[in-house]
Amino acid sequence: MRGLFCLTLAIGLATTPALAADQFDLLCKGQQKFTPDGAATPIEAHYRVDVAAGSYCRDQCIGIDKLAGAAPGKIAFKAHAKANEQDELVDESYEPATGKWVDLYAGPYPPGEYAATEGKCEAATFSGFPKK
């Protein structure tokens, strides 16, 4: 089953020929807002992803985290649905077919914290995880 998943993911990443199917870096650029109607500011992120191991790290790779989910159409770094007003909404994800990158956090209301990033990622050769 795992082999079939990796093969399916490889097909989804076929538009980036330099990549291994299960290990790659993502170089992302987008716009971030701290209020829904606020001004957007540029932001960049660098992910290192190992789908087969279910792991990733971001930017300086201080810690290696587990993926929330991985399917051919979407890789979820973090995901948490808002079940009620005291809960938080988290969606940090990448769509290989389109390059779409989302990093959304909406905290409990009121007053709540908010940060929303939308942008695009380009896949690159896997640079590896830092040695411990």
**Model-level pTM?**
0.78
Any idea where the domains of the chain sit in the sequence?
2-124
Pairing relation of β-strands 23-33 and 69-71?
unpaired
The residues that bridge with 48 in the sheet, in sequence order, are: 25, 57
CATH number of 2-124: 2.40.128
What average pLDDT score do residues 37-65 get? Answer: 96
Residue-wise pLDDT for 4-49, tens only, equals: 333 334 434 433 333 457 999 999 999 999 988 889 999 999 999 9
Q: Which amino acid is at 2?
A: R
Q: Are 50 and 126 in contact (CB under 8 A)?
A: yes
* Mean pLDDT, all residues of the chain: 84
Note the residue count of the chain. 132
Task: Tell me which DSSP letter residue 130 carries.
Answer: P
